[in-house]
Structures are given as C-alpha cells and as structure tokens.
Amino acid sequence: MSTINQNKAYIASFSVAPGPYVADQSYAEKFMKTHYGGRLNSRSMGLIGTCFSHPSITKRHFAIDDPLELVDEDPDRRIERFTRRSVELSAEAIAKALGRAGVGVNDVSAIVVNTCTGYICPGISTYLIERLGLSRDIRAFDMVGSGCGGAIPNLQAAGALVRTGSVVLSVSVEICSATLQMNNDLSLILSNALFGDGAAAAVLGDRPSGWELVASATRYVPEQRETIRYVHKKGQLHNQLSLKLPDLVKKAAAEVVAEVLKARSLAVADVKHWALHTGGEKIINAVRDEIGIPEDRLAATRTVLSEFGNMSSPTVWFVMDEIGRNGIAPGDWCVMIAYGAGLSAHAYLLHRTP
C-alpha cells in the first residue's frame, strides 16, 4: 500500500485526445488555396505554399467531420462546435486518464480546465461534470486567456488543490480551428499552417506514483503582449503572431528553466527528458540553443510537431505522451516548458517516482 505524503503532489496518469479529422499539409494547402484564394493577393498565395510545405509539420488533427465546415463558418455554429468538440475531446482524455490511474469519477474532488480558443458561460468544467457524472459538489475552475502556455499554470493550480486523499483533474483543451480566419495578414497564414485541435487530461493526487511535481516557475512580459495574442475583429478571434517571438520566448523560457533547475541544484545535463511546447521550429530551435538542450533530447517535441503541429495549450502533454512511449526510468528528471500569450513562459520540474 502506498504511503501518503501530505506535502507533495503527483501526476498519477495523463492522456491525450487529438481532433478526429486528420489532414496532411499538402491537402491543407490545396484546401486554403481553393476556398480562400479569391480573397488573397499573389504574395499571400506564395506564402501559403512556403508555409504549408515546411518539412517540420506533415499533418494535423481537427475537431471536424468535414473540412467544409470551416469555410466562412457562421459565428453561432462556430461556438456551438467549439462547445461540443471541446467537451467531447476533454471527456475522452479524462476517461482514459482516470482508467490508467485506476480512479473512479466519484473519487475526483476538483477539476481545473483551461482554454483560449473559445468562451462559454458556464464554462467547460460544468459540461464535463454533467457528461462524466462527476460529483455535484466538486470544486470546478475554468481558466481562460492563458494561451499556448496554459497547461502549466493549470498544473500549478491543480497541484495546489491536492490534499490528503484528494484527486484533481487538470484539463487543457483547444479547438484552434474555431478561430480560423484568412486574409492577407501573415499572422493568419502562419496560424493556418501551424495549429490543430486537441485535449489532454492529467490525474493528480498525493500518493507517490508517476511524476512528482517538484518545482515550477513562470515569467510574464506583459509589455510584449502584442507579439502573441488573439485580437477581436468584428466579434471574432484573430491570431496575432510576431516574427520577433523566437528571441523573446527563448529568454523567458531560459529564465524559468534556470529557476526550476536551481530548486534541486540540477544542471541541464542532469535532465533526461525535455517536453517543449511545439510553438514552431524556429521557436524550438531558439529555446534549445538558449538553454543548451542536446538535440537528441528533443525527439519527442519534434515528433509531435510533425504529427500534430501546434494545438496550443494541450500540446506539451502530447510531448509528455510521446516521451512515455520511448521509455522512462525511475529517478529520471523531466522539464515541461510552455510559452505563449502574455507574453509568458512556464516550466515545471518533474521527478519520476521509484
């Protein structure tokens, strides 16, 4: 029987759920040119070819049945799709994570859900309470606006909710396709070549199994918020990205990594597993070089970028899932790193239990 440590929290299990529709980049390029080419200039059409043919991404997953759903999607139908699909994917990830942890829905005492790709009131958490049959007196928290880095602030909050005997769900879900827009704005062209849909759920508790949550750190650079954010235009979200992001992100990421490693007097070389958010190849490379992460320890991040693109906040959990496929030994160290709107960067140091 496991002993209980009242001062620690652990990730007992986690699971991921990508959007069900898979499209390779060549199909996505043809789709965008066919349905949006009439409103784009020649420069933008050329950029579509360049962005969608970049070898770092081969395919992505979307929460749709038919790609035609996305063409000039009515705003009311869009928020309905966001609601339905975010609940479906979250519920799928939660059910798998609970099963892996050997935990029932009646054992869950709190749930934290984060998203940035749609707003509903009441929040996604209440839909999950109903759908999964969670306790009606559960503590439920919905976080919005934390962008691509949101999984780690969520994990910080969920870890703080763990008490003796408590089980907490940490859920990140994004339907990035529910923010699809297209015009001659480079930010939109890049976004449409990069983002996909997905969800992830982690089961946290105080019994020593899985990954111990050791130390976390966060940096906000609010004066740079215009470099990565959603802006509202005519009531709809439009992604805004700056070409300065790699330089800005790498500095903030290096700061949070240095802080969490210092907590246990570790060096970069002591960390076997690195789970980086897949913000894009240039950002991955910039963070790698700034921190000094060996390239061979970024295989999981590269694989997720290739197979899924960037799903915003749940992406770092997809990287953790890929790391798990390649073997983890008791005592291994892992650093999760995520970055995005704010401008912000977050890191969590994890230790594999014996």
Q: Is the pLDDT of residue 164 over 60?
A: yes
If you average pLDDT over residues 167-182, what whole number do you get?
98
**pLDDT band, very low/low/confident/very high, at 261 (cuts 50, 70, 90):** very high
Identify which has the larger pLDDT, 326 or 250. Answer: 250
pLDDT at 158 (0 to 100): 97
pLDDT at 2 (0 to 100): 35
If you average pLDDT over residues 86-90, what whole number do you get?
98
**pLDDT band, very low/low/confident/very high, at 347 (cuts 50, 70, 90):** very high
pLDDT at 286 (0 to 100): 98
Residues 74 and 80: their CA atoms lie apart, in Å, by: 10
**pLDDT band, very low/low/confident/very high, at 109 (cuts 50, 70, 90):** very high
Residues of the chain above pLDDT 70, percent: 98
Q: Is the pLDDT of residue 4 over 50?
A: no
Task: Give every strand in the sheet of 333-340, ordered side by side.
Answer: 139-144, 108-115, 167-175, 197-205, 10-18, 211-220, 344-352, 333-340, 273-276
pLDDT at 3 (0 to 100): 37
Beta bridge partners of 257: none
pLDDT at 165 (0 to 100): 77
Q: Is the pLDDT of residue 149 over 80?
A: yes
Q: Is the pLDDT of residue 343 over 60?
A: yes
Q: Is the pLDDT of residue 7 over 80?
A: no
Q: Do domains 10-205 and 211-352 have the same CATH topology?
A: yes
If you average pLDDT over residues 267-291, what whole number do you get?
97
pLDDT at 234 (0 to 100): 87
pLDDT tens digits along 184-227: 999 999 999 999 999 999 999 999 999 999 999 999 999 999 99
pLDDT at 1 (0 to 100): 28
pLDDT at 247 (0 to 100): 95
Sequence ranges of the domains in the chain: 10-205, 211-352
If you average pLDDT over residues 232-249, what whole number do you get?
92
If you average pLDDT over residues 234-249, what whole number do you get?
92
If you average pLDDT over residues 37-61, what whole number do you get?
96
In this structure, which CATH number among 3.40.47.10, 3.40.50.620, 1.10.3720.10, 3.40.50.970 belongs to the domain 10-205? 3.40.47.10
Average pLDDT, the chain: 95
In this structure, which CATH number among 3.40.47.10, 3.40.1160.10, 3.30.420.40, 3.20.20.70 belongs to the domain 211-352? 3.40.47.10
